[in-house]
Amino acid sequence: MGTVSIKDVAARAGVSPGTVSNVLNRPEKVAGDTRARVEAAIRDLGFVRHGSASTLRAGHSRTIGLSVIDIGNPFFTDVAAGVEDVASERGYAVILGNSSGSRMKEERNLLVFAEQRVRGVLITPSDEDGARLDRLRERGISVVLVDHPAERSGQCAVAVNDVTGGAMAVSHLLGGGADRLGYVGGPAAIRQCQDRRRGAEQALAAAGRDPGDLLELAMPAMTARAGQQAAEKLLADRSLPDALFCANDLLALGVLRGLLQAGVRVPDDVSLIGYDDIDFASASTVSLSSVRQPTYKLGRVATELLLDECDNPDTHAHQQIMFQPDLVVRESTR
């Protein structure tokens, strides 16, 4: 009834538990017929290995932790898809943690990862406190930063150049004849927001404009709801810029909805550009211009780096990879 262990399998196959373990972990070490007998016993008894016992004895598990800022954002589900594909190819399970941008929840997720003795952690940190991650590394848990450049060498990181992306977006807006520009950002602690704003300012400067001209609006979240609130605020202030750059597409879609509801025409009255090029950007009321990132690849590459670090700790060389974004022009900036 209860649970069938390696011993039961051994008994039925007429071998010792050690041999069963070998069949499970180093099948090449055991003779053909014994192996067949053991495999038959496993099947007959419906044995499934006790992962915890295995982890306990082996000192490490076959799981990795993935901590993201907002699983409701298609950007992160795409990343997660890439992560999961690579992980399951290599026999790893993924524990998903959603920080929702809350430092406390992120902390709790990392604690869970540590308790589960995950082999490694993939994280898009929600702030710049690298010390927590170092504490994980001290525990022997590899950490790879996702969508975040390395603060220093000695770690792997996979990111997309957000400064360039921000600059692309804003010089596109300027090229379209925009004069008064606004930036709708997210929480100040989120690096992506800062970098994209910096890129925006650089583009302004490059066009001979004062970077201080950029009207900035920082929302507490990067969701469609927050975007709609941003639009309402902009409308209430009677200071509507003629071009808006949003830190991500969810914000932009929310802004778009808010503007259209108020009778503001996009792009005639206001040009609008988002960031991430999520699937829905091209399907919106007015299709949304955006900055595309190699999202799925980000997840894949990060996971490959992490598992390489886990599986070949001696030969592994840390890498910091930086992809470049692409501008995607659609109706909202024409």
Residues binding its own copies (CB under 8 A) = 2-3, 46, 48-53, 55-56, 61, 63, 71-72, 74, 77-78, 80-81, 84, 88, 93-96, 98, 105, 108, 111-112, 114-117, 135, 139-140, 224, 253, 256-257, 279-280, 282-287
Q: Which is nearer to DNA, 47 or 76 (CB)?
A: 47
- Provide, rounded to whole angstroms, the least separation between the CB of residue 117 and its own copies: 6
C-alpha span between 276 and 48 (Å, rounded): 42
- Provide, rounded to whole angstroms, the least separation between the CB of residue 219 and DNA: 42
Token code pair at residue 126: 């929600």
* Binding test (CB under 7 A) with DNA, winner from 53, 206, 236, 329: 53
Cβ neighbors of 228 (< 8 A, separation 6 or more) are 254, 255, 257, 258
One-letter amino acid for residue 294 of the chain? P
Token code pair at residue 46: 């419906």
User: For strand 271-273 and strand 156-160, is the pairing parallel, antiparallel, or unpaired?
Assistant: unpaired
Q: Which is nearer to DNA, 31 or 317 (CB)?
A: 31
57 binds DNA (CB under 7 A): yes
* Binding test (CB under 7 A) with DNA, winner from 12, 19, 185, 303: 19
One-letter amino acid for residue 92 of the chain? Y
Which of the stretches 27-35, 74-82, 250-258, 320-328 binds DNA when contact is defined by CB under 7 A? 27-35
Name the residue among 289, 199, 222 with its Cα closest to residue 74: 222
CA 107 to chain centre: 16
C-alpha span between 9 and 38 (Å, rounded): 7
Q: Please choose which of its own copies, DNA, none residue 75 contacts, taking the beta carbon within 5 to 8 angstroms, the exact cut-off set by kind.
A: none
C-alpha span between 143 and 180 (Å, rounded): 42
Peptide bond into 27 cis (omega under 30): no
C-alpha span between 210 and 202 (Å, rounded): 10
- Provide, rounded to whole angstroms, the least separation between the CB of residue 57 and DNA: 3
- Provide, rounded to whole angstroms, the least separation between the CB of residue 303 and its own copies: 14
SS3 state at 49: coil
Name the residue among 241, 301, 253 with its Cα closest to residue 277: 253
47 binds DNA (CB under 7 A): yes
Burial of 232 (0-12, 13-18, 19+ CB in 10 A): middle
Q: Which is nearer to its own copies, 24 or 163 (CB)?
A: 24
6 binds DNA (CB under 7 A): yes
Q: Please choose which of DNA, its own copies, none residue 105 contacts, taking the beta carbon within 5 to 8 angstroms, the exact cut-off set by kind.
A: its own copies
Token code pair at residue 60: 């490490």
31 binds DNA (CB under 7 A): yes
Q: Please choose which of DNA, its own copies, none residue 214 contacts, taking the beta carbon within 5 to 8 angstroms, the exact cut-off set by kind.
A: none
Backbone angles phi, psi at 322, to 5 degrees: -125, 115
- Provide, rounded to whole angstroms, the least separation between the CB of residue 234 and its own copies: 18
Q: Which is nearer to its own copies, 71 or 163 (CB)?
A: 71
Q: Which is nearer to its own copies, 111 or 205 (CB)?
A: 111
One-letter amino acid for residue 135 of the chain? R
Token code pair at residue 78: 């795409």
Site residues, DNA (CB under 7 A)? 2-3, 5-7, 14-22, 24-25, 29-31, 33-35, 47, 49-50, 53-54, 56-59
